[in-house]
């Protein structure tokens, strides 16, 4: 029995020791606002940038005399819809002032967000859309514009003629479908001399599936295409690997999406001729700014674009591009 008690005491101590959050700063004149920021996962660089951005917003707002605290909490299992629902429900029950959410699913998260709204907790959606009107604002990349940027770059490099293929990401993924459609629409409209030889193949969820799909596509089209577009990180990585394997990297004009060190290296080797990058840091920043504006009764736009940028070998070293590729994570994440 005594040992049981000591075990229980150990348990309490584990719990107590890991409690390292004191009450927070003393409230200034205004009411303290607690904002929960809920990403899709916590380990990817993309989400770390969003975290840093939301922390920046909180510290800026606090410096202006608004007491704002950000709680960062992802689903316990990455990319698990149920776990993310539990996090939203938990914050609703806890009674935070507002939620900034990157929903893992455009439908599954509707009920918890609407329940939160009914309980008096408003939500700003970031990154991916939610099929609900009960939200304050949707703060995200204009994906269509990203596709258009890619098409302009590829069209110019090819001088408006040649054969191009698009390796799509996955069926039913809204953000990448917008990029693909933006790309295809712009090519058809602005570059009639360019022929789209394949636009119906999918890369699938991982780098590995993307590489296989790329290999199959290249087996058929490698000798005739001059241009390639891929709409996200894994598809771009898979295509790049496949091109390198068959010695075609650098011989076709290739524009991808999202940033990674591998892509930057490939760009320096002229194997990749441009990547469209989003601005997750800005997404986190504007997400928190918008919910706080809303809570303070200021009007908030229903749709806020966080911007897309074309990164090429030429502008790679520019300071603003470097900040975009390497957001100041260390400064805001401690």
Partner 1 sequence: MVAEVKQSRGFVGPAFFRTQLNRFGPLLGLVLVIAVFSVLTGAPERYLAPKNLRTVLVQTVIVAIGAIGMTMIIISGGIDLSVGSAIALTGVITALGINAGLSPVIAITAGILVGGLVGVVNGLVITRLRVVPFIATLGMLGVARGVAKGVAGSQTVNMPETWANNLLSTVPKPEWLLVAPGVWMAIALAVIAAIVLRNTVFGRRVFALGSNEAAARACGIATDRLKVTIYALAGLLFGLAGVMQMSRLRLGDPTVSAGLELDVIAAVVIGGGSLNGGEGTILGSMIGALIMAFLRNGCQQLGWENYVQEIIIGAIIVIAVAVDRWRSARAAAESY
Binding site for partner 1 (CB under 8 A): 1, 3-4, 7-8, 10-12, 14-16, 18-19, 21, 23, 42, 71-74, 76-77, 79-82, 85-87, 89-95, 105, 107-108, 110-112, 115, 118-119, 171-172
Query: Minimum CB separation from partner 1 for residue 208, in Å?
Result: 15
Question: Measured from the CB atom, is 93 or 246 closer to partner 1?
Answer: 93
Query: Minimum CB separation from partner 1 for residue 142, in Å?
Result: 24
Smallest CA-to-CA distance from 39 within 284, 312, 238 is with 284
- Cα 245 → chain centroid: 29
Question: Measured from the CB atom, is 13 or 269 closer to partner 1?
Answer: 13
Query: Minimum CB separation from partner 1 for residue 239, in Å?
Result: 20
Question: Measured from the CB atom, is 16 or 64 closer to partner 1?
Answer: 16
Question: Measured from the CB atom, is 60 or 80 closer to partner 1?
Answer: 80
C-alpha radius of gyration, the chain, whole number: 23
Q: Give the SS3 label for residue 260.
A: coil
Smallest CA-to-CA distance from 64 within 240, 299, 218, 292 is with 292
Query: Minimum CB separation from partner 1 for residue 248, in Å?
Result: 29
Question: Measured from the CB atom, is 194 or 213 closer to partner 1?
Answer: 213
- Neighbour tally for 173: CB within 10 Å: 17
Tokens coding 217: 């596509």
Question: Measured from the CB atom, is 169 or 263 closer to partner 1?
Answer: 169
Question: Measured from the CB atom, is 30 or 107 closer to partner 1?
Answer: 107
Query: Minimum CB separation from partner 1 for residue 302, in Å?
Result: 24
Query: Minimum CB separation from partner 1 for residue 115, in Å?
Result: 6
Tokens coding 101: 């959410």
Distance CA 79, CA 74 (A): 9
Phi-psi bin for 297: left (phi > 0), alpha (psi -120 to 50), beta? left
**Strand order in 68-72's β-sheet?**
68-72, 33-38, 98-101, 123-126, 137-140, 303-305
Distance CA 239, CA 212 (A): 9
Distance CA 74, CA 163 (A): 43
Query: Minimum CB separation from partner 1 for residue 120, in Å?
Result: 11
Question: Measured from the CB atom, is 114 or 195 closer to partner 1?
Answer: 114
Query: Minimum CB separation from partner 1 for residue 157, in Å?
Result: 34
Which residue intervals of 64-200 are DSSP H helices?
Answer: 81-94, 110-118, 143-157, 174-190
Distance CA 6, CA 10 (A): 6
């Amino acid at each position: 029995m005594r040992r049981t008690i000591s075990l229980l005491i150990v348990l309490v101590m584990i719990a107590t020791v890991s409690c390292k959050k004191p009450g927070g700063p003393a409230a200034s004149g205004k009411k303290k606002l607690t904002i929960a920021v809920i990403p899709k996962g916590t380990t990817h660089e993309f989400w770390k940038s969003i975290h840093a951005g939301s922390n920046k917003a909180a510290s800026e707002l606090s410096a202006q005399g608004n007491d704002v605290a950000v709680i960062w909490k992802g689903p316990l299992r990455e990319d698990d819809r149920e776990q993310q629902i539990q996090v939203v429900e938990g914050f609703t029950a806890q009674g935070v002032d507002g939620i900034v959410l990157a929903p893992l699913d455009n439908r599954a998260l509707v009920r918890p967000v609407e329940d939160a709204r009914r309980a008096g907790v408003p939500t700003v959606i970031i990154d991916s859309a939610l099929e609900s009107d009960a939200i304050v604002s949707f703060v995200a990349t204009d994906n269509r514009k990203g596709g258009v940027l890619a098409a302009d770059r590829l069209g110019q490099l090819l001088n408006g003629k040649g054969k191009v293929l698009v390796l799509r990401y996955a069926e039913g993924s809204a953000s990448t479908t917008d990029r693909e459609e933006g790309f295809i629409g712009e090519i058809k409209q602005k570059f009639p001399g360019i022929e789209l030889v394949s636009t119906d193949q999918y890369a699938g969820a991982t780098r590995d599936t993307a590489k296989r799909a790329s290999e199959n596509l290249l087996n058929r089209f490698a000798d005739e295409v001059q241009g390639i577009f891929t709409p996200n990180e894994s598809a771009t990585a898979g295509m790049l690997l496949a091109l390198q394997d068959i010695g075609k990297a650098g011989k076709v004009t290739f524009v991808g999406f999202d940033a990674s060190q591998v892509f930057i290296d490939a760009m320096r080797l002229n194997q990749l001729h441009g990547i469209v990058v989003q601005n997750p840091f800005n997404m986190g920043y504007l997400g928190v700014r918008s919910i706080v504006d809303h809570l303070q009764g200021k009007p908030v736009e229903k749709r806020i674009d966080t911007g897309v940028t074309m990164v090429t070998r030429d502008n790679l070293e520019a300071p603003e591009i470097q900040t975009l590729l390497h957001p100041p994570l260390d400064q805001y994440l401690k």
